[in-house]
Chain A
Amino acid sequence: AQTVTQSQPEMSVQEAETVTLSCTYDTSESDYYLFWYKQPPSRQMILVIRQEAYKQQNATENRFSVNFQKAAKSFSLKISDSQLGDAAMYFCAYSGTYKYIFGTGTRLKVLA
């Protein structure tokens, strides 16, 4: 069975600095997709970034980028130039053949 692990329950970053959120997963599938979602205090889930497993190039979306290491089954999210609005819960998610699986989340605090 697939699993997704986020080992950092909480992280803090100074405004304008860079922070990296970790995510590891376990799967025997070769074709899958990985996502990072943001859940602000409003609790609306927002898609931040998406990575296709068959692509070696790391995905980027403005200030958000990932470090995808397929062999290591690692999918970390880097947030550059952190802003106060980035404060939220961040969930890593795996999508394979059967299910969409979420990690336990990392709460990101942004310090002014």
Chain B
Amino acid sequence: GAVVSQHPSRVICKSGTSVKIECRSLDFQATTMFWYRQFPKKSLMLMATSNEGSKATYEQGVEKDKFLINHASLTLSTLTVTSAHPEDSSFYICSAGTGTYGYTFGSGTRLTVV
């Protein structure tokens, strides 16, 4: 079945630095990938839709300059949290696939900004 690999699974960074999270589709090509943020005991909040070869589409309220998304190939999308602050600490999840058959999710990245 379809596999989505997300890396790293956990990262701790200092306030003011940037962190990059990778999302790879291992056995299929994904023209579209999605990035979610999940707060403790809460649902998944869609942050942005990553489109291969073009600009990402951000949801309302999500800062484009804070959360940079690059989808340079059909198997890789990256989310960079720039100038991270403690309030950016969260669980970030990527997904790929189709809305018809259901998405495959990465295993998530727990970001802690200290």
A residues within 8 Å of B by Cβ?
A: 33, 35, 42-47, 50, 91, 95-96, 99-100, 102-105, 107
Is the Cβ of B108 less than 8 Å from the Cβ of A91? Answer: no
Of the candidates A33, A43, A100, A105, which one forms a contact with B34 in the assembled complex, judged by CB atoms under 8 Å apart? Answer: A100
Inter-subunit contact A95/B107 (CB<8 Å): no
Chain A residues with CB under 8 Å of B44's CB are: 45, 91, 102
Question: How many pairs of residues, A versus B, come closer than 8 Å at their CB atoms?
Answer: 42
Contact flag A44-B99 (CB < 8 Å), given A91-B43, A99-B46, A100-B34: no
Contact A104:B102 (CB < 8 A) given known A44-B108, A45-B93, A45-B95: no
Give Cα A35 to B104, complex, Å.
Answer: 12
Q: Which of A47, A50, A99, A104 contacts B43 (CB 8 A)?
A: A104
In chain B between 10 and 62, which residues have their CB closer than 8 angstroms to a CB of chain A? 34, 38, 41-44, 46
Known interface pairs A100-B34, A107-B41; 11 further A-B residue pairs with C-beta atoms within 8 A, sorted by A's residue number: A43-B91, A44-B105, A44-B107, A47-B102, A47-B104, A50-B102, A91-B43, A91-B44, A99-B46, A100-B46, A104-B42
Are B91 and A33 in contact (CB-based, < 8 A)? no
* B residues less than 8 Å from A102 (CB atoms): 43-44
Q: Lowest 5 CB-CB distances: which A-B pairs, in order?
A: A95-B99, A45-B105, A47-B102, A104-B43, A102-B43
Query: A43-B107, A44-B108, A45-B93 are known contacts. Are A103 and B102 too (CB-CB below 8 A)?
Result: no
